[in-house]
Structures are given as structure tokens and as C-alpha cells.
A and B are shown apart, each in its own frame.
Chain A
């Protein structure tokens, strides 16, 4: 069974204080790993897709990296507007089934 575990569950940082969020996964054949951002009361907003170990992608203050067992979302010099829940997901691998398996997310708070 596919599993996605995110840590920490919650993280509080000062503005400008860089850190990393972790997503570890267990799947039978990775077919991509997705990062989303979710603001309260809204749907998840797509950020990145990573397909192979060693791959990196960047967007503004965010950089996502991937190894064979985990992915990191690095946040450099964050601002209060980066406060959100960050979700990690992998495609379901059960016999051609579609859809994503999500982690519980990391609730990130950036204090001014």
C-alpha cells in the first residue's frame, strides 16, 4: 500500500528564517511526486512535479528536491505570505488506479 508521511506536522518560523519540509514515501514504482500549497478553506494549489531522484525544481523562495525515498521542500528567506499547509502526494500504484495518495501536510506559519 502506498504511504506518504510528512514532517513536521507544524512549523513556526520567523520571517527570513530558512528551513525544509520533509516528505517520505513508500510506493511500488514512483511515477512522480507532487507538491501542493493549501490555504485555509481553499483547494490545493499545484506547485511542483518531480519524477526522478536528483531532480530539483524552483519557484520563487521554494525549491523541491527528490531522492529515492523522500522529497524536501526548501523554503529560503520566507515571508508571511508563505504561510500555508504544504501537501505532498504520489500517484496511486495499485493496478492502474488513478488519483493521488496524499500526506497529512505540514502547517507552516511565518511570523513577521
Chain B
């Protein structure tokens, strides 16, 4: 148990569907992150939230829409995805948004777009 919980663990969706990924952290952290992990590629940072404010959008397509209602919860809303968006989506949190603190990851959501 890492203290960062992601749901669902697996998701299959069609290209016209709308779905949401959820992340919750129980560590009292103030920064939360979304990463994408595709086969044979390093983890790619997507979004950063620090004290509920989005501080980084790493040129992510608009079909991915993040939401951070409070410091403990993070969502990733998905719509009209493409098959190449199939990947493991990982949520992480850290104590602060500065880089010198360790980030702890959830178990990920394995997304398949058909």
C-alpha cells in the first residue's frame, strides 16, 4: 500500500467514449502528478498540480483534461481518445511541488482504447 490509490485498475474504452480516471492520496501531500507510461518509452510527465493549482501542462492533447478539486484528489477526464493513447497512466504525489522531495506513485490504470 503506497498511500496513493488509483481507480479503475483497468479500463477499455471506445474512441467515442468519455471516461475518467481517479487518484486519491492519503499522505498529506500538496502536489499531484499524472504520468503516461507506454511500452519501450520512459515515463512521460503530463500534468502537475501544486496546492490545487495546475503548474505544468506538458503539451498534452486537449482530449486529456485534468481536474484537481482538492490536494487529496486528482482526476483525468478522457474523451475521443485514439488507439495510441493506450498506456499505463500513473498518478503520483509529493509533499511539495518543488523537485527535491520524493514522489510516490499509485498502481496505475491500464487503459486500452479500441
A62 at the interface (CB under 8 A from B): no
B31 to chain A, nearest CB (A): 6
B107 at the interface (CB under 8 A from A): yes
A interface residues, tally (CB under 8 Å) = 27
Nearest-CB residue, chain A, relative to B33: A99
B99 at the interface (CB under 8 A from A): yes
Greatest chain A CB density within 10 A among B40, B42, B105 is at: B42
B56 interface neighbour in A51, A93, A98, A103, Cβ under 8 Å = A98
Cβ of B113: which chain A residues have Cβ within 8 Å of it? Answer: none
B55 interface neighbour in A51, A97, A105, Cβ under 8 Å = A97
Interface residues on B, range: 20 to 34
What are 23 A-B contacts defined by CB distance under 8 Å?
Answer: A4-B42, A31-B100, A32-B100, A41-B108, A43-B92, A43-B105, A44-B43, A45-B105, A46-B103, A91-B100, A92-B99, A97-B48, A97-B56, A98-B48, A98-B97, A98-B99, A99-B33, A99-B56, A100-B99, A101-B42, A101-B45, A102-B42, A105-B42
Give residues of chain A (40-96) contacting chain B, Cβ–Cβ below 8 Å: 41-46, 49, 51, 87, 89, 91-93
Indicate with 1 or 0, residue by residue over B22-56, a CB within 8 angstroms of chain A CB atoms.
Answer: 00000000010101000011110100101000011
B102 interface neighbour in A49, A97, A99, A105, Cβ under 8 Å = A49
Cβ of A49: which chain B residues have Cβ within 8 Å of it? Answer: 102
The chain A residues found within 8 Å of chain B, CB to CB, are 4, 31-32, 34, 36, 41-46, 49, 51, 87, 89, 91-93, 97-105
A100 interface neighbour in B2, B45, B88, Cβ under 8 Å = B45
CA distance A31 to B99 in the complex (A): 7
CA distance A105 to B41 in the complex (A): 9
The binding surface of chain A is classed by DSSP as loop
Contacts A32-B100, A92-B99; A44 near B45 (Cβ below 8 A) = no
CA distance A98 to B48 in the complex (A): 7
A87 interface neighbour in B33, B43, B58, Cβ under 8 Å = B43
